[in-house]
Amino acid sequence: MARANNARALIMSGYGINSEMETQEALMRAGMASDIVHINDLIAGEKTLSDYRLMVFPGGFSYGDDTGAGNAYANRVRNNLWSDVKDFLAGDNLVLGICNGFQILANLGLIPAFDRDYPRDIALMPNIKGVLECRFVTLKPAAENLWTKGIAHLYCPVSHGEGNFSCSEETLKRIEREGMVAFRYCRDDLSPAGGEYPYNPNGSLADIAGITSADGKVLGLMPHPERALEFVNLYDWPTRKERLRREGRPLPTESMNMQFFRNIVAYFGE
Amino acid sequence: MASYVHRIEVQYSRDPRLPTRTERFRSLGFPLRELHLVDVYTIATSRRDFSPEELSQIGAQLSNPVVQQYSVDRPTEADFDHAIEVGFLPGVTDNAGTTAKQTIEDYFGFRFGEGEAVFSSQLYLASGDLTPESLQKLTAALANPLVNRVHVKSREEYGERGMVPIAPFVHLHELQAAGTVDLDLPDAELARLGKEGIIDPETEERRGPLALDLAQLHAIRDYFRGLGRKPTDVEIESLAQTWSEHCKHTIFASAMDDDVPRGLYKTCIQAATNTIRKEKGDNDICVSVFTDNSGAIVFDDEHLVTCKVETHNSPSALDPFGGALTGIVGVNRDTIGFGLGAKPCINVYGYCVGDPGTDPALFRGKNRENPILPPRRIFEGVISGVGVGGNCSGIPTPQGWCYFHDRYVGKPLVFAGTVGVMPRARDGKNLHEKQALPGDLVVMVGGRVGKDGIHGATFSSEALDPASPVTAVQIGDPITQKKFSDVIVKEARDLDLYRSITDNGAGGLSCSVAEMAKESGGCHVLLDRVPLKYPGMAPWEIWISESQERMTLAVPEEKIEAFMDLMKRREVEATVIGTFTDTGRCVVEYGGENVMDVDLDFLHDGLPKKHLRTEPVETAYPEPDIKCPDRLDDLLLAMLKRKNICSKEFISTQYDHTVQGGHVLGPVQGSGRVQAPATLTKVVPGSMKGVGLSQGLFPSYSELDPYRMAVAAIDTAIRGLVATGVPLDTIALLDNFCWCSSDEPERLWQLKRAAFGCRDGAVAFGTPYISGKDSMFNDFSGFDADSNPVKVSVPPTLLISSIGVHPDVATAVSMDAKFDGDLVYVVGETGEELGGSEYLAHLGIPGGTVPALDIETAKVRYGRMADASEKKLVASAFPVTHGGLLVALAKVAIAGGVGMDIAIPGGMRPDCYLFSESLGRFVVTVAPADREAFEEIFGRDAHLLGRVGGTAFRVSGGRTLIEQQVTAMEAAYKAPFGGY
């Protein structure tokens, strides 16, 4: 199953990040070993970013979303680890941010990072409904890149209060022109959500659920593929199960979302 | 006092929430055009000032330049009519302020000192034609006078200068020493001391109720006479905490009448569990029952799961958000504090509130003073509190319920529960066992101590001094808790850095340290070492404060360095505050003097025993005299709209129920998204086993037949799990009694009957209790609009929660009908049992026969359900509960998004048959190909009612009774809370 390689992932934790364990589980199932590292251990030098090839900012509620989701944690990274992070980005490495992780990446300016410059160009604003929204959504790849390879669609939960993708018209144009939109929210039949709730669960501009950096090595994604790795995690699995059973077909064990993590691991296996 | 105060205001350039927020308040009746929101940070320092440039940098750190603007010491410019600023009162937990402070500290590399802080507040800018009265109402809707300070300005007053910066520091001028208390008083004076509290020598005011009765005060007086000295205030307050109903459960522990000499707890709850465990022998599922902060059962060979359900009622009546938040993060600590620390993995909730569509005029004071919060405010506040607690802590909240009744208007009930998971052993040591040893250090971890929650349950209407800290209610800080939860459960436990741990909840340090002192045989605490939120607290306050987010641990001396180092690296405050001893005494030192020195035996067991008497309640309600309508269409739609039956999905979707990646059967199911009575969650990634959770409660049965009420709650909690495929022999129960007026013999009789029902039901099903909690005085005493005294007592309420282990979640069964052509069965027997039903409540009729259950027959049926599930013969299963068979069929159809053709048998009036709440029944759908195998298992216990198919839901019984489109039923089911 897993291809052996030496690339290791660093999964950030601390201050209210909470999805580090399921993120580790996802990478492990896809064949990549990882360490969950408290940000303070990186700052104190007990762990070193350059020992890793993949840096993950997992989901969570760092600092309780106070002062804007992901903002305070991003400040902590920028104020203490910025040169290490820039060095990491210069190497042949990947960075993934899921949900709170995406919010952190956006606040750090690691996305979109046009021209290898890191101002804040995008924002994940509060959902239009003003409350956290937890439900399954369907995602369709919007670009062919290392992250989306071989994925027809993802079906996984969103769970956030601030996932409403926003940026200037100019930035949006550039993001779309350069093929940086990685995933968009869509309907069950994979047609565009067109901004309609609940397919687009938060009001995101252009149904954007995830984008990459200009160099393609950083991905921010609001929904949580790591929370639905197995067939039985999918919202509609009981119906699927019953249909398969009556057709005399076996039940799958894993979900379509595993492909996302396989793609990441494959990048380092090549 | 801070010398430099600056104010930063942050506003969205285009606020995405503006339409929803405005619409929400318009729907509440406020004539608003727009309601804007500005985040405000007030930075107060004394040692250094910030330059304009630095303040600008701070503004940039606290905002997002892509979508927000900030201003420094300059009011936000906007078009509006009124400005309403809502901040916190002194001493109230301010999480956003704390985060802002940490950000500033991190950015500049310096630390805020004493008397320096950042305070957050929210500035609402309202435009619209608000009359002074509606402005006042809007202010009341935005703020709670118990925790918030409010400042209102018109556009004119706001002018060019905006709002006034305010830094709500706490200032105390109290006696910081222990005093002695004279108990050699006449009985009347003594009783008053117990009721109203010790007289503070400084202020000469009573400090607030001790809730000690005369017998208890006599016992305390005699004890100290024996010691030859007067007790200190620390000792009296400490004994009052330890002996409180909350901690000692005296009503459940006391002898009752002649037939319950050992008390209801031992006779009914504990005895049931003991009997069941003995009968099960090697198949006993219990690991730890009643003794620890949670109860625990076996999950698999390597893991156990814990469960605990708490209530947080009084605080939630005063501050629904803060009360509920404190409730859920508090019960999370009952998980972290189980054994050597279990990882919280599922939260559950339950709310009993008044009808949110009503606004009763009830007051805590005469002359319309101090009104209760409207039910909707309470409802939305508690929903939000539990949501924030679970969401911020990364704990999924899939399971819960709401129950509405007018008798909950004065005192809502807020149930909050947590499931934990942990390895059964590590390095040959059982992790559910713990023991502090003499010489171990007493370490307090987490938040600091303030005056929060001191005599909190006894809120009085006295006006609050503007600089006095808020004591009655607490607001939780989930991130502080998340930090120590992670370091304890994910690091320190597995490094074996401590020997024992418990939660600081009710009674604060006085209860947690004294409880752990039982393990070693004594303790010696140095109260001066306890870190405080603000200076000036008296020793008795430090000892009993219920400030949140704290745990107490016993750390061996040789591990203390490693322990403290780890805590420091995780930015968790940890303080050594004493030593566990084997002296048999609880000794507390402050300022070099012993302020408490009491025998542990007396502290824990000196409580005088009581003997309670009950008085039977005669209930003679006639059977209802009603006619069955010819058609039941309107009734069906009306029943689906009943608040106890309709969808409350807006709660499920704002609660994160997928974090930790274990979602299997969630809070809503099927394409029609109907709320499910049971959920299944995987808690160990590599295992296909899952934790099933469900609940049962029937407050409407209590006054009619409390015994049957209890059995109904047990059966419903169990049956919800059985429907998903959880086998009966893996199921354990938890009991939460929320009673009223428990000093009245009639209420005690109802309690006794309910407790007997609990015993008999659990023993017959073979489902042990593993944990429980009671809250005995859920009464509101106040005044109506004309100042007439009013007492509103909750209906006697028993929540039974169930936890069970599904052996293979890939065979689990959801509630939604699946495919056209599937057969629809009701499994189990329907009787004419309408007493306390939702149907009679809809018609406004009291009385009738409360459902009874033949448990032996039910057990056989539940075994067959497990068998049928395992053989994959069940396409969907749903337990028939509130609203009866018709509501169950409708929910299964709506969830599946498919119609049904149902023909009901003759012999009973259609409305009785369809709305009776007879227990033990399931609605099951089955693939046509499985008919024979299914019927072979159930025999005559399964009644074929019809088929799934089409878009219409038809019911006939000799004639057409109902014909409705499923879409219309779905609309009715989702209508009542559609605007929430």
Structure tokens at B398: 């899939």
Q: Is the pLDDT of residue A3 over 60?
A: no
Number of domains in chain B: 3
Q: Is B35 helix (H, G, I), strand (E, B) or coil?
A: strand
Cα–Cα distance for residue pair B401/B409, rounded to 1 Å? 17
Residue found under tokens 């404190």:
B326
Is the Cβ–Cβ distance between B775 and B737 less than 8 Å? yes
Q: Is B308 helix (H, G, I), strand (E, B) or coil?
A: strand
Please answer yes or no on whether A134 and B665 come within 8 Å at the CB atom: no
At B522, the amino acid letter reads: G
Beta partners for B826?
B923, B943
Angle at CA of residue B4, ends B45 and B90, nearest 5°: 60
Is the Cβ–Cβ distance between B959 and B910 less than 8 Å? no
Q: Is the pLDDT of residue B221 over 80?
A: yes
Cα–Cα distance for residue pair A260/B27, rounded to 1 Å? 43
Cα–Cα distance for residue pair B553/B567, rounded to 1 Å? 13
The verdict on residue B899 lying in a domain is: yes
pLDDT tens digits for B102-161? 999 999 988 998 889 999 999 999 999 999 999 999 998 899 888 899 999 999 999 989
| DSSP string computed for B70-132 | EEESSPPP---SEEEEEEEPTTS--HHHHHHHHHHHHHHT----TT-EEEEEEEEEEEE---H
Q: What is the DSSP letter of B667?
A: S
User: How confident is the model at residue B464, as a pLDDT?
Assistant: 38
Angle at CA of residue B712, ends B834 and B613, nearest 5°: 105
> What count of CB pairs under 8 Å joins A to B?
201
User: How confident is the model at residue B475, as a pLDDT?
Assistant: 78
Instruction: Assess A23–B contact: CB distance below 8 Å, yes or no.
Output: no
User: How confident is the model at residue B471, as a pLDDT?
Assistant: 63
Cα–Cα distance for residue pair B601/B212, rounded to 1 Å? 18
**A9-269: in CATH 3.40.50.880:** yes
Beta partners for A54?
A9, A94
One domain, residues B142 and B199:
no
CB atoms within 10 A of CB B94: 21
User: How confident is the model at residue B472, as a pLDDT?
Assistant: 61
Cα–Cα distance for residue pair A198/A194, rounded to 1 Å? 11
The verdict on residue B887 lying in a domain is: yes
One domain, residues B90 and B225:
no
Cα B399 to Cα A35, B364, B678: the distances in Å are: 32, 34, 7
The verdict on residue B83 lying in a domain is: yes
Of A13, A65, A203, the CB nearest to B16: A203
One domain, residues B845 and B954:
yes
Show Cβ contacts of residue B978 under 8 Å, excluding neighbours closer than 6 positions: none
One domain, residues B147 and B208:
no
Please answer yes or no on whether B63 and A60 come within 8 Å at the CB atom: no
Rounded to whole angstroms, the maximal C-alpha distance in chain A is: 58
Q: For residue B653, name the pLDDT band (cuts at 50, 70, 90).
A: very high
One domain, residues B94 and B202:
no
Among candidate residues B246, B303, B806, B882, the one labeled active-site is B246
One domain, residues B907 and B977:
yes
Domain containing B821 equals 813-980
Angle at CA of residue B853, ends B849 and B857, nearest 5°: 150
ipTM of the complex: 0.96
Cα–Cα distance for residue pair B181/B191, rounded to 1 Å? 14
At B350, the amino acid letter reads: G
The verdict on residue B267 lying in a domain is: no
Show Cβ contacts of residue B948 under 8 Å, excluding neighbours closer than 6 positions: B817, B818, B819, B820, B821, B822, B823, B824, B893, B896, B898, B899, B900, B925
One domain, residues B192 and B151:
no
Cα–Cα distance for residue pair B239/B216, rounded to 1 Å? 10
Cα–Cα distance for residue pair B328/B92, rounded to 1 Å? 18
At B622, the amino acid letter reads: P
The verdict on residue B539 lying in a domain is: no
One domain, residues B848 and B979:
yes
One domain, residues B817 and B966:
yes
Please answer yes or no on whether A122 and B66 come within 8 Å at the CB atom: yes
Q: Which residue of A has its CA nearest to B568?
A: A40
Smallest CA-to-CA distance from A3 within A23, A43, A32, A24 is with A32
The verdict on residue B718 lying in a domain is: no
Identify the domain boundary among B228, B243, B258: B243
Instruction: Assess B482–A contact: CB distance below 8 Å, yes or no.
Output: yes
User: How confident is the model at residue B460, as a pLDDT?
Assistant: 33
Pairing mode, strands B343-353 and B399-404: parallel
pLDDT tens digits for B887-899? 999 999 999 999 9
At B727, the amino acid letter reads: P
Structure tokens at B557: 């001396």
B547 annotated ligand-binding residue: yes
CA distance B479 to chain A (A): 6
Smallest CA-to-CA distance from B219 within B612, B587, B742, B605 is with B605
Q: For residue A5, name the pLDDT band (cuts at 50, 70, 90).
A: low
- Return the C-alpha torsion angle B262, B222, B588, B314, nearest 10: 50
How many residues does this entry show for chain A? 270
pLDDT tens digits for A176-224? 999 999 999 999 999 999 999 999 999 999 999 999 999 999 999 999 9
Of A63, A127, A159, the CB nearest to B99: A63
One domain, residues B922 and B820:
yes
What's the N-to-C CA distance of chain A in angstroms?
Answer: 15
- In B270-426 the beta strands, taken as DSSP E runs, fall at 286-288, 295-298, 303-311, 343-353, 363-365, 369-371, 399-404, 413-423, 425-426
The verdict on residue B385 lying in a domain is: no
Show Cβ contacts of residue B565 under 8 Å, excluding neighbours closer than 6 positions: none
The verdict on residue B151 lying in a domain is: yes
Backbone angles phi, psi at A13, to 5 degrees: -145, 180
One domain, residues B150 and B11:
yes
How many residues does this entry show for chain B? 980
How confident is the model over B655-671, as a mean pLDDT? Answer: 97
Rounded to whole angstroms, the maximal C-alpha distance in chain B is: 87
Among candidate residues B82, B303, B312, B882, the one labeled active-site is B312
Instruction: Assess B381–A contact: CB distance below 8 Å, yes or no.
Output: no
pLDDT tens digits for B716-731? 999 999 999 999 999 9
Average pLDDT, rounded, for chain B: 93
Smallest CA-to-CA distance from B246 within B529, B3, B546, B460 is with B546
Q: Tell me which residues of chain B, numbers 800 to 859, contact chain A at a CB-CB cutoff of 8 Å.
A: 809-810, 812-814, 816, 818-819
CA distance A107 to chain B (A): 8
Q: Report the percent of chain B where pLDDT is more than 70.
A: 98
Q: Is the pLDDT of residue B467 over 80?
A: no
Give me the active site residues of A, please: 99, 224, 226
B435 annotated ligand-binding residue: no
The residue of B650, B659, B675 whose CB has the most chain A CBs within 10 angstroms, and thus the best one to mutate to test that interface, is B659
CA distance A80 to chain B (A): 8
Angle at CA of residue B467, ends B464 and B472, nearest 5°: 45
pLDDT tens digits for B259-300? 999 999 999 999 999 999 999 999 999 999 998 999 999 999
B592 annotated ligand-binding residue: no
Of B16, B99, B388, the CB nearest to A164: B16
One domain, residues B112 and B210:
no
Q: Does the active-site annotation cover B151? A: no
pLDDT tens digits for B841-853? 999 988 889 999 9
Where is pLDDT greater, at B34 or B453? B34
User: How confident is the model at residue B114, as a pLDDT?
Assistant: 84
Please answer yes or no on whether B479 and A235 come within 8 Å at the CB atom: no
